Amino acid sequence: MGAWIIFGVLLSCIHVGEAKLNLTKPFPAFFIFGDSVVDVGNNNFIVSVAHANALPFGIDFPQGPTGRFTNGKTVLDVISELINLPYPPPYLDPKSKGNAILQGLNYASAAAGYLRSSGFNFIGRIDFDTQIDWFANTVSQVNALLGETAAKDFLAKSLYATVFGSNDYINNYLLSYAPINKVYTTDQFKYVVLDKTKQQLRRIYDLGARMIAVSNIGPIGCIPSQLVRQRSVNGECSEYVNGLARDFNVGLLGVIQQLNQELPDAQFLYADVYTKIDEYVNNYPKYGFKSASMACCGRGKYNGQLLCLPFLKACPDRRDYVFFDAFHPCQVVNELLGTALYEVLKAELN
């Protein structure tokens, strides 16, 4: 469900050799792997507690509720607009076939994680391994549509984003009733996830991807659901939970560096989301927000105890809040982050 990690805002893009992304030349396609922060409707087609296909989700989106876990655009919707591509449609949509796949697809699923067990508390979800299986099916379809040589070039020139990690903690390891925290210490768990991550990113590369942006975990100790779980008194973030995220992120950066050394024809980009979101939360008035702890929609303390269900009403001014619900940012945050990413990439890679 709501992993508070958002595709790459900041500050660090790792290149290999002379290979650089030229943002003046549009990518042919955009392929997205991830969780509820970037799910645009795949969970509409599975049995799951994690659904966002009814109001107040999508209250500010032109098409209304689509399965996006926010009031409007996701951060990758914003990126898609800036790179002159349509929003990649959900893989499970029956219309996502034939030529419709040639500008990209979105495989993201709310509650998904690097690990298959993550998000089990939301029942149905599509983990990263299965999303890669879906991408393998897409590669076969692209080969059939374009021919093997043209398909290889198409895949190599496309952009890929992965947005995972938060559910492995907030909807797995940090749950008191999760079996996995009885097996591993926090340090052991971190390495289990990092080892899995490296295997998964390598598999995307083996299927033809060459430019892959990998989001780190944001300050998940600041999301309203964690403020409730960690018994925050005055809206202060959980330093313990944020420390787990920071520790994982150090390891993730190491994985990215290793992959770039091992695969010199690839370009894995590390997206430091933690730093940017931490700044928004801790200095929210500077960015025009009135609250960085209270969610716009929900119930209970910080509106973080109950999900934003169809019978609830959203706050009247969504621009006042960092968080739309217990897990996810409001559209205004996604717009800020998406624009920041685009500008940083232009400056870094042109």
Which amino acids are annotated catalytic? Answer: 36, 325, 328
Token look-up 């076969």 returns: 140
Work out the angle between the directed axes of helices 239-262 and 273-282 (0-180°, nearest 10). 150
Nearest 10 degrees: Cα torsion 303, 231, 171, 305 = -20
| Cα–Cα distance list, 280 to 8, 142, 198, 324 (Å) | 15, 40, 30, 14
Token look-up 């893009």 returns: 13
Q: Maximum Cα–Cα distance for the chain, whole Å?
A: 60
Phi, psi (5° rounding) for residue 159? -105, 140
Strand partners, 163: 34
Q: Are strands 267-271 and 211-215 parallel, antiparallel or unpaired?
A: parallel
Q: 70 is written with which tokens?
A: 């926010």
Tell me how crowded residue 196 is: count the other CB atoms within 10 A of its CB.
18
User: E-assigned strands of 1-123?
Assistant: 30-34
